[in-house]
Amino acid sequence: MADLNFGELSILDELGSRLSLSPDEIIKSVKEPPREDLGDIALASFILSKKLGKNPEEASEYIKEKLDGLWFVKKVDVFGPYVNIFYDYGGISTGLFGAINESYGKINIGNGARVFLEHTSVNPNKALHIGHAKNACIGDSLGRLLRFVNYKTIVANYIDDTGAQVADDIVGIKFLNLPEEKEGVKLDIYLGNEVYVKTTEEYEKNPSLMEKRRQVLKSIEEGSDEIAEYAKKLVSKVINAQMQTFDRLGIYYDLFNHESHILSYKFWDTAFKQLKDMKIVELKDSGEKAGCWVFIPEGHKLAGQEKILVRSDGTVVYAGKDIAYAMWKHGLLNTDFRYKRLQTQRNGQILWETTEDKVDIIHPQFNDVKTSINIMDVRQSYEQEVVSGAIKKIAGGKPVDYIPYLYEVVALSAETAKKFGIDVEEGARVFNMSGRKGILINTDSFLDQLYEKVYAETRSRNDKISDDECKRIAEGITISTFRYELVKTDPKRMTVFDIDEALKLQEKNAVYILYTYARASSILSKAMQNGRKPVKTTELEAKEKRMIKLLTKFPSVIFDATKNLDIATLSTYISTLCFEFNSFYESVHVLNAEEDKRDFRVELVRSVRDVLGSGMEMLGLTPIERI
């Protein structure tokens, strides 16, 4: 393992060097002792004995002997089949305080490799509801994590501008004479909440209207008449409205890919020819799939299951289009888009988009990556397994890693749903939303209501600050709370959002993390130290040792979160760090301690604040120095 920065990973690396074992072998043998009196880490000698060519008892004594004299080891005990290591916290804290800065934990895992990360992908006919926001927040935090460990991450948003839902809005406006806009209502909210809902209701009353929908879809796909031009302008306006929400959430992109351009560039035609030439698809000549082109996965959990990619009438299913798009991502299509600058985002990052215009402009390379990650609803798992299987087969010997990153839906607690005026069944604890029925909560509306509650609480607690400062703090807490609730747990578990619970000052809440950061900042401000100073290590309290040990784990957490693409690992660590810090601060004196202890503890506070700041940045939380 190279470029380990400092911390537990470098300790484990040194253990491996001493024992002539690989980092992976050491990591697999490391256990956390069940009690602090048994040491700080333990090596399972029964796991390492075979690698060392000894029986477990001999291995334990050999390991104990080899670890003698290491700078971070105070004592080594053999306890049954384990070798228990007690840290020399003086040596560790000296190295730790020197290592912790904005680069601490930045392990060079990526080594500059390019990764294509796609998230959000909300239809451009509506506003983001909080389910879309979960997709975007997971994707954005994952992108921040990957950049932190030196992956060159290309963040994209797929714009389904030829989909049925765009057509539904146009049917409502052009054939039901619904207004194009509504004064005082954000365009994406109006179209999604009113036009789309009223149009889908009208289909049930008037089935003949579906023919208008088919005509609109045909016009959009062919892209050559007045309806197609109108669709482009409408989509552009909706995207601009959606981007106001992205900007408020602090979410930014490198590229917007338009589905209409995938069609106009004939990516599927190119891909389909390759699939047929490579005999990856076959034409069925009998049975219920007669006339269909199908893909049959091999060496895959869907092995033997036929998946129709082209129906007998010649229409391409979504999985087929996704295969062509994935081929482009991985440089398997031998063609590319043209691109143009869409805008410079608030963070200074240029946003590009695909285009049909005849442009001649230098642009970044967006495709031909080894790894692509697609954040999407777990309900699309089957389709994505098909795409993944097809890409591996098409790639042949070329290394590709197509990763569908699946997440569960977002629901509201019954009490939160009631706050939005939604009727909830008697006794129900959770409310599930439905876009087709128009029963959903838009991200903008949710943030506004959350903000009102936070602002009122902030104002009541800080009567001497200016209104602008109060609004800044309230907005920071609002965005942090919203984002943290959507990424703090396993993405494959349903998120149940409860406004009141989310705003409580309790562990595993964003407010608690922001409060801890503000508390650490306040201590450092009162310490009146500009920059770091050498500190002497004194006899440490148990809670100080616990804090140091936890700080050494930050690079390990980053490593595990990256390896498993698991943002929840990071959020759990940050929550634990906050809990342990507050426990430490409430049990020992910092500013009023004697000089050596004071200097050491101030440096410990600074280290916690800096690690918290790095973790919060990746989670999309806003550092606030007072609450």
> Is the Cβ–Cβ distance between 364 and 336 less than 8 Å?
no
Strand duo 41-44 + 30-31: pairing: antiparallel
Q: How confident is the model at residue 271 (pLDDT cuts 50, 70, 90)?
A: very high
pLDDT at position 428 is: 80
Bridge partners of residue 376, in order along the sequence: 406
Residue at 407: amino acid letter: Y
Q: Which helix (H) or strand (E) holds 543?
A: helix 542-552
Q: What is the DSSP letter of 541?
A: P
DSSP string, 343-371: EE-TTSPEEEEEE-S------------SE
Q: Band the pLDDT of 420: cuts 50, 70, 90.
A: confident
Contacts of 195 (CB under 8 A, 6+ apart): 168, 169, 172, 173, 178
The predicted pLDDT at position 424 comes to 80
Q: Sort 340 into a burial class: Cβ within 10 Å, 0-12 / 13-18 / 19+.
A: middle
The per-residue pLDDT for range 344-402, each reduced to its tens digit, is 999 999 999 999 988 878 999 999 999 999 999 998 888 898 899 899 999 988 899 99
pTM as predicted = 0.93
What's the average model confidence in pLDDT over 392-415?
91
Q: Which CATH number fits domain 8-87: 3.30.1360.70, 3.40.50.11540, 3.90.1150.10, 1.20.950.20?
A: 3.30.1360.70
| Whole-number Å distance between alpha carbons of 297 and 305 | 7
pLDDT (tens digit per residue) in 490-533: 998 889 988 888 888 888 899 999 999 999 999 999 987 655 66
Over residues 147-162, the mean pLDDT reads 96
Rounded CA-CA distance 565/142 in Å is: 7
Predicted confidence band at 68 (pLDDT cuts at 50, 70, 90)? confident
Beta bridge partners of 79: 82
pLDDT at 290 over 60: yes
Residue of 505 and 20 predicted with greater confidence? 20
CA 380 – CA 46 distance, rounded (Å):
43
CATH classification number, 114-411, choose in 3.40.109.10, 3.40.920.10, 3.20.19.10, 3.40.50.620: 3.40.50.620
Quickly tell me which residue has 């911390």 as its tokens.
7
Which of 106, 150, 149, 105 lies closest to 555, judged by CA? 105
| DSSP symbol at 411 | E
| Domain boundary assignment for the chain | 8-87, 114-411, 412-502, 510-619
Task: Tell me the C-alpha to C-alpha distance, in Å, between residue 148 and each of 151, 349, 614.
Answer: 7, 17, 9
pLDDT over 70 percentage in the chain: 96
| pLDDT, position 586 | 93
CATH code for the part of the protein at 510-619: 1.10.730.10
Q: Which amino acid, 109?
A: I
Residues 265 and 380: their CA atoms lie apart, in Å, by 25
8-state DSSP, 191: I
Residue 372: φ, ψ to 5°: -125, 140
Report in angstroms the alpha-carbon separations of 76 from 13, 39, 58, 59: 17, 8, 15, 14
pLDDT of 437 above 80: no
Dist. CA 37–CA 79, nearest whole Å: 12
Rg (CA), the chain: 28
Strand order in the sheet with 82-87: 30-31, 41-44, 82-87, 73-79
pLDDT reported for residue 322: 93
114 or 526, which is more confident: 114
